[in-house]
Structure formats: C-alpha cells, structure tokens
Amino acid sequence: MNVGTNVSDDCVTEFNNLKLGKQYRYVIYRLDKDRNEIVVDHKGERESTYAEFVSHLQNESRYAVYDYHAQTDDVPPRKVEKLVFIFWSPDTNQPVKQKMAYAAGKEALKKKLNGLSKEIQANEPSEVEEAEIKKTVLN
C-alpha cells in the first residue's frame, strides 16, 4: 500500500449507494495527484450499459466497481450478480510514476470497499470486453 494514499469518504458512500441502494450500475475512481487521494471520477446510472461503462475508461489508470449481472447456461438458467473490482492500467504512454502510484493505491481502496466478489486487472481493451467480465463472473 502506498503510505499516505487516502481514500475519500465519497468513495465509500458512492460504493454503498451502488451496493446497497442499487443507485448505480458502476462507479469509476481516480487518483487525485495533488491531494494524494482516491476520489470518485464518474457514476453510471442504473440503466447504463456495459459499453457505456467502457467508454468512460480513460487512457490513464482508473479503478472501478461494476455491478455485473449475468445468466448461466444451466438448465434452468441461474441469475448471477457480482460486484467486480476492475483495476484499469492501460499500456499507454502514461508516466511510470503514475502507474506505480495507482498500483500502490489499489489495496487502500479495496480495503474500504467491503463486499467485492471478483477482481480483474486490465491492461488493454480486450481485457475489459464484456465477454471477459462475464467469464470471470461465472467462474
């Protein structure tokens, strides 16, 4: 954990609004470099699609929690709902120091967000395609 990386209270509040209040489909977080604090970057309305979520990921590292719903291929099919933590760290030209700061802050955020079911680290767009998320959720 990055010593001194704080997690804003809003991060936990909005996570609980997603998890318990079912107000959002997803919450995206970013590291505010000036305050060395993880803050809420974007919230997706409950009706948001997975494609809309992916469109909000930047060319810079981000953390996200997505309330993913899937259906198994069982007979009869089962509905599966999981809170998926996604660490988005694209292989772009972002500074190494910035990528390291995000990697170090990840555990601080995860410790504050109780109830996460799955975790994904994605470094390229193919790793955040919906088929990959679905496969992770159903395994």
83-94: per-residue pLDDT in tens?
A: 999 999 998 878
**pLDDT tens digits, one per residue of 102-113:** 999 999 999 999
Six-digit token pair at 32? 């505010």
Report yes or no on whether pTM surpasses 0.75: yes
Burial of 136 per CB tally in 10 Å (0-12, 13-18, 19+): middle
Alpha helices in 56-123 (DSSP H): 96-112
The angle at the Cα of 118, spanning 85 to 42, to the nearest 5 degrees, equals 20
pLDDT, mean of residues 4-33: 95
